Structures are given as structure tokens and as C-alpha cells.
Structure 1
Amino acid sequence: MKLAVGQFQVSRDWQDNASTIITLMQQANAQAARLLVLPEAVLARDNQDSHWVINAAQPIDGPFLGQLLIASQTLAVTTIFTMHVPAEGGKARNVLIALRQGEILLTYDKIHLYDAFTVRESDNVVAGETLPPLLHIDDFTVGVMTCYDLRFPEMARALARQGAELLVLPAAWLKGPNKELHWELLTRARALENTCYMVASGECGPKNIGHSLVVDPLGLVIAQAGERPQLVFTEIDKAHLSAVREQLPVLQHCRLL
């Protein structure tokens, strides 16, 4: 299956971001990609105003997602990203969206909020409480996570034990000492320990690292972006996945529930 991973710098203007996403969707579809993974929080961002995610949040049936759904009607590619949706108490929910051909295939509210490294996502965002459902794209079963979820191996393992073969992660991974190292180490570990492919898309720009990547079930990076806006394509292979799982049957051998 051919897939694409895209990264860009999210702007303050949701209309600009919608236009960028539609262009990436069209480019991925034109190259026959079946999956496009985009970053976290693509609706709007202001790096100088941490409350902008609340001010700019839109409901699922708002104009931002509406434009993307209309644009996707003639496209075969499945697109995954997250956006902020208004929630109770003057906060927002960080909602992962998977869409294809004018339909929302699944939604997932981010479980693990980034209250670390002097940041408090929970000041603005309400945490989700349930694992996301699995998604089927061609002959791959897909499990989804969002950014900080990457640091919790229990979540990836739970999705893999439910049947996930490909793990997808939109992210906005903050810059900082050793943060690129953490990003690559964790994505490769989640892929290897669960014998899954993994696709992780990171926002780029002055605040976040970019460096989107695709990892194979043996933990090898098979595609990677740099720090600038980029759309990267690669192929993932179900036969390779099956061969790895036959040689390294960790999911069968796991005795801990």
C-alpha cells in the first residue's frame, strides 16, 4: 500500500490551513496514495497565544472540516489529522479525524494530555477516556494515536493486540534538548515492540520539530522528512509484516494483559 506523510507549519488562519490540507490531499491522491497522515492541531495555531486553540476551535460540523469533507468527495485517499473542537468548561477537545470520500470514518479524543516539559495541555483541553476504534484501509488494519500518546507503550500495545498492523500518529512535537532523539527513539520502539508499521507526522516551523517518519515492523526508518514543509511517499508491504511477525511473534508470546 502506498502512503504519504505530510508536514507543514500551521497558521493562525483556519482558511489558509484548510487550503494547504486540500492541496496535500489532492497531491497524495494524484500519486495513488491510499493514506495521508498530517500533523496534530491543524485547524489553527498561534505560537504566541496558547489559548488560541480555544478561540479558534470549531465543531465537527463547522466550516473547516466541512471544506475538507467536500474536497475529499472525489478522492480515494484516507486523510488523518487532529483538530480542536469546543468542549465544556470553556475548553476544547483534541479530536483525531479520519476522513475519505466525503465521510468521517472515525474520531478519537486524545487520551494523554501533554502536561510535561513546563507545558500544560490540560489547561485548555479535556482528555478523552476511551481507546479509538480500529480503521481498515485496503488490507491493513490501522490503530491511531495522538502526539503524547507515543510515550505510553500500553496504548500502542493495546491497539496491536486488538489487531492493528499500522499505527498512525499525528503530532506537534515541541523542540527542545534531545527532543528529535526522543521522537525517533519512541516511534521506532513502538513499531518494533509491536511488530507494526508506524507513520508519525509532525508539524514543522519555529516551535515544532517536523521530522515526520515512517518505520517498518523491525524498527527501521523507511522514509523521513526534514524540518521544512514536505510531502513524503513510501510503500508498506503486508507480506513483509507477516514475515516479521512469523520471525518475531511477540504479540503471541505476550502473557501480560
Structure 2
Amino acid sequence: MRVALAQIISGRDPAANLSILEREAQKAKTGGAAMVVFPEASMRAFGNSLTDIAEPLDGPWATGVRSIAASLDLVVVAGMFTPGSASGAGAGGGKVRNTLLATGPGVEAGYDKVHLFDAFGFLESDTVDPGTEPVTFDAGGLTFGLATCYDIRFPALFTANAERGAEVNIVCASWASGPGKVDQWRLLARARALDSTTYVLACGQGDPTTQGATAKPGAPTGVGHSAVVSPLGEVLDELDGAPGMLFADLEPGVVQEARQRLPVLANRRDF
């Protein structure tokens, strides 16, 4: 199965961001991909209010993503925000959920980010409710697990996805910048591939500074470096900080061979 990772830089306007998704999905289709993965916060960039644009998975923005997927006969994975609890510290007193939508031919799934980014001085839990369950879906003869940004620091989610059949883990991110953060992103993507013996598709927001923009202080607006990692931790392809797209051909046999050589899932013990 051929997949594409679309490293974009989303902005404040959900409609404009949907147009970016449509443009990049067309590029993915032209490149032969059967799936295109977009970053976390594709609906609206961090550093902006979230509760005023949050909508359910059958709302207009998600319906727009669904329409793009249907028109191109393509699976689309993209980060959005859905309504959370009615009370909280967010704008208007409510919270949202940080949600990944996966939609396309035979695919319809939603994953709410489990591990919230309460780190490096940012408190995602002030405005976001956590999810509670792993989510997987099937496409192109493969099973995919979903994860979002800070989730990549927690191996158990990736092995849980693998135990549910995942041969590929998708990580959509808007990674916070800072000293050593790009190195951590790379290291964690490789480690999670090895933990779960899955491909890891690590798709992040591009770095706004590469386009002459100033990143909003304290907001995790992206560093780029989207990558495809093999089940044995080899980086097969990687972008730099600028917007771009990479393609990868995923083969179930590669996962099976890796699990025969490195049976960490079979050998793992719970304590």
C-alpha cells in the first residue's frame, strides 16, 4: 500500500485549512498513494482558540474531509477538534477533544488523544479532555493504529495497537519546538517502531519559521521532520522543517519478517 505524509502548516481559518488538505490530497493521489496522512491540528493551528471551531465527527469540517476522501477514492487521516466537556478553562468555559479523523473507502474511525501535553510549560489539559481507548482501522490489507503527538512518548499505546493487529502506527503531531526537540522526535519515532515492530508514519506540522512566520510563544506549532520508520527502526525517509510531502510503500511481509527476527511482542511480560 502506498501512503503519503503531507507536512503542512495550518492556520487559524478551518475553511482555508480544508482547502490545503484538498490540494495536498490531490498531490498524494497523483503520486499514487491510497492514503494521505495530515498532522495534528490540521483543522486549526495551536495558539488559537479551539472551542469556537470544535464540531462532531459528522459536522461540516469533517464532512468536508470525508468529501475529499470520497472524491479522490483515498483514505485521509487528519487532526481536528471535537466537543469535550461542557465546563473547563477553555474559551466559553468548555473543553474540546484532540481528535484524529480517518475516513475514506471502507474506513471511518475517530481517535481522541489519550496523553495530553502537560509538559515543557504547556498545559493542554486546560482546554482538552483526554481520550480513553486505542483505535485501529483496516485499509489496503493492513491494520493501522492511531496516536497523536505527545502519545509518542508512551510505548504502551503503540504495543496496544499492535496487539489489536496494527502493522502500522500513525502519529499525527504539532511538535513543540525547543532545544533538542527535533532529536527527541526522531528518537521516539524510531523507538516506538522497535517497541511495536510496526511501521511508524510520523507526520508533523511544518516549522512556521521556515516560511518567515513567527511561532506563537508557548504554542506547539510544529518543527517538521515528518518521517517513515521501518518496523526495525530504520528511517526510510524524512522531510526537513519546511512543508512538503513524502511517499512510502508499506508491505505486510516486512512487518512479519521483523516480528520473526525480533519477537518483542511475543516475549513481552506485564508487571
The residue that corresponds to 2:73 in the other structure is 76
Which of the residues 54, 60, 64 maps onto 2:57? 60
TM-score normalised by length of structure 2? 0.88
Q: Note the C-alpha offset of 1:41.
A: 1.1
Q: Note the C-alpha offset of 1:20.
A: 0.4
The residue that corresponds to 1:91 in the other structure is 95
Q: Note the C-alpha offset of 1:27.
A: 1.5
Greater Cα offset, 222-231 or 54-63: 54-63
CA–CA separation in structure 1 for the residues paired with 2:56 and 2:144: 25
The residue that corresponds to 1:152 in the other structure is 154
The one-letter code of the counterpart of 1:43 is M
The residue that corresponds to 2:20 in the other structure is 20
Q: CA RMSD in A?
A: 1.5
CA–CA separation in structure 2 for the residues paired with 1:93 and 1:76: 28
Contact 1:97/1:104 (8 A) holds in 2: no
Where structure 1 has 5 or more consecutive residues not aligned to the other structure, the ranges are none
1:1-257 to 2 correspondences below 5 Å: 1-45=1-45, 47=47, 49=48, 52-87=49-84, 88-89=86-87, 90-101=94-105, 105-132=108-135, 134-204=136-206, 205=208, 206=215, 207-256=221-270
Where structure 2 has 5 or more consecutive residues not aligned to the other structure, the ranges are 88-93, 209-214, 216-220
Q: Note the C-alpha offset of 1:104.
A: 5.9
The one-letter code of the counterpart of 2:99 is V
CA–CA separation in structure 2 for the residues paired with 1:71 and 1:79: 8
Greater Cα offset, 137-146 or 174-183: 137-146
Q: Note the C-alpha offset of 1:45.
A: 2.1
- Relative to structure 1, the CA distance from residue 120 to residue 250 in structure 2 (aligned partners, 3 Å threshold; closer, same or farther) is same
CA–CA separation in structure 2 for the residues paired with 1:189 and 1:68: 31
Q: Note the C-alpha offset of 1:146.
A: 0.8
The residue that corresponds to 2:91 in the other structure is none
Contact 2:173/2:222 (8 A) holds in 1: no
Q: Note the C-alpha offset of 1:171.
A: 0.5
- Relative to structure 1, the CA distance from residue 162 to residue 71 in structure 2 (aligned partners, 3 Å threshold; closer, same or farther) is closer
Identity %: 35
The one-letter code of the counterpart of 1:137 is A
- Relative to structure 1, the CA distance from residue 231 to residue 18 in structure 2 (aligned partners, 3 Å threshold; closer, same or farther) is same
Greater Cα offset, 7-16 or 233-242: 233-242
Contact 1:9/1:203 (8 A) holds in 2: yes
TM-score normalised by length of structure 1? 0.93
Deviation string 1:200-255 (CA, Å, 9 cap, x unpaired) is 11011233201100000110000111111101112122222221111111111123
CA–CA separation in structure 2 for the residues paired with 1:65 and 1:104: 14
Contact 2:107/2:138 (8 A) holds in 1: no
CA–CA separation in structure 1 for the residues paired with 2:46 and 2:166: 34
CA–CA separation in structure 2 for the residues paired with 1:235 and 1:12: 33
Stretches (4+) displaced over 6 A: none
SS in 1 for 2:71: coil
Counting matched residue pairs gives 252
